[in-house]
Structure 1
Amino acid sequence: SASLYQGPMKSVCTPLLNCYACPSALLSCPIGTLQHFAAAGNVSWYAVGTLSVVGASAGRMTCGTLCPFGALQDLLYKFRGWKVSLPHWTRYLRYAVLAGLVFIIPWLTRENWFSKLCPVGTLMGGLPWVAMNAGIRSMVRSLFWVKIAILLFFVTTSTMVKRPFCRAFCPLGAIFSLFNKSSFLQLAWDPDTCTRCGKCRMICPVDIRPDRNPTDPDCLRCLDCTRCPSLKLTTVFHRQPFGEPAVPASVARSV
């Protein structure tokens, strides 16, 4: 058996999807907090403020460096097999999930529907509780199997698509993506040294081109692409860390 920690740390939001029901969870989930207050007809300004500070500081960097479910998807994609690319329009689904399952539907139904269906919660909370507690196993109903089906869907698609949950369905990623263009930490690209070889896209966990748009809302700031000397982590106050751009040859000849 296991017990659920209910101490003072549970009032602190982590900048990750962190299932409140996970037996090992010490902190609260920001999305769970937002929808809990929405279901009560209120707004958690504490959660809003916490996510705003994290987003304004680093954009989606926590998604690319700390998220365990993201790391699992990266691992699954390494399996050999059929690989496909997500259509560009799927990036907007995460905003629909954020608006619908985190705010609107909980407010209308007074229930936390994203948490009921979240695959991260199923993996970190639902499965461990069912495995460790016979009493909970006797309470399993059809909703649990729906949650298992959703988790299996993302596990399966992760072997074919780079981070499908992060890119198309994660409401926390949707929030942080709004800060990518203006966050303190930025990704900079040097057009003078870039050879347009496309290797940055090949290693990108979300299949974008950092050399075309280093502030892309999909960018996780994982920094894998900074192994290329044409890409570098910088700050909003130092957008040209490579020095001043070179003078084009046509301009130089006219001087």
Structure 2
Amino acid sequence: MPLVPTGDLVEQARLAGRAVAAFNVITLEHAEGIALGAERAGLPVILQLSENAVRFHGSPHAIAAASAAVARNSTSDISLHLDHITDMSLLQMAPELEVSSVMYDGSDFGYAENVRHTREAADWGRTRGIWIEAELGKVGGKDGAHAPGVRTDPEEALQFVDATGVAALAVAVGSSHAMTSKSAALDHALIRALSSTLPVPLVLHGSSGVPDGELTLAAQAGMVKINVGTALNIAYTSATRRFLDENPSIVDPRKYIAPSRDAVADTVERTLQILAGAAAITL
């Protein structure tokens, strides 16, 4: 199937009262596993390439082309997205990479500078048909960001959206990037307040650390794009480790990559089913 613009997938999810999942790609097998999981669930997905993943590969071209090829060969609707981009030159490569959306991350700047840089990214994207997501508040990394003081304020978020013209906003509501345990407690009242205040879709980052029930509630409260990365890596690495522990003489990487790719697909399918269940309850 042809690539589908991210903005279309997000808008379809918003109108249907559900969330669309965005999964991070590091290797070709990640992309293949994500597409397989989406096909099993019968739902669309977004393939995300982070700036860190691009640095790992040295260039975005090969992994973006591979992801695009996987998407075209899938029976599911799939879009390509650049995630947590701080380098404006990388952001501006989106059209040549067949990427329809970019999350520009200016969250390390103070508010005024974040607005300035994000507005520049959004203005550039609007003239080229590239859907721009941004972040306000501090979702946080491995050390977590669960304290109320780092969370996104609805009125400030509205001012930010109005000032920048972004198409979607990632907000800090209690999740954190790179969590390896499902222990995040989300502020669902804040999600509802943000959803009712803002004219753009909300994005939940750090969803790997969110328990299933919390994820369901987040989708019901107004999260429209749900980002998942670490959960795929846990599934992939665990399957690899298990296979090699049980088969120490194997040297053909295809033997352990296959179950690892399948583990990614299982995780994707399960996540999509959780989000589909949330939509069914909401509707």
TM category, shorter: under 0.3
| Higher relative contact order, chain-length normalized (CA < 8 Å, sep 6+) | 1
Query: Which has the greater radius of gyration?
Result: 1
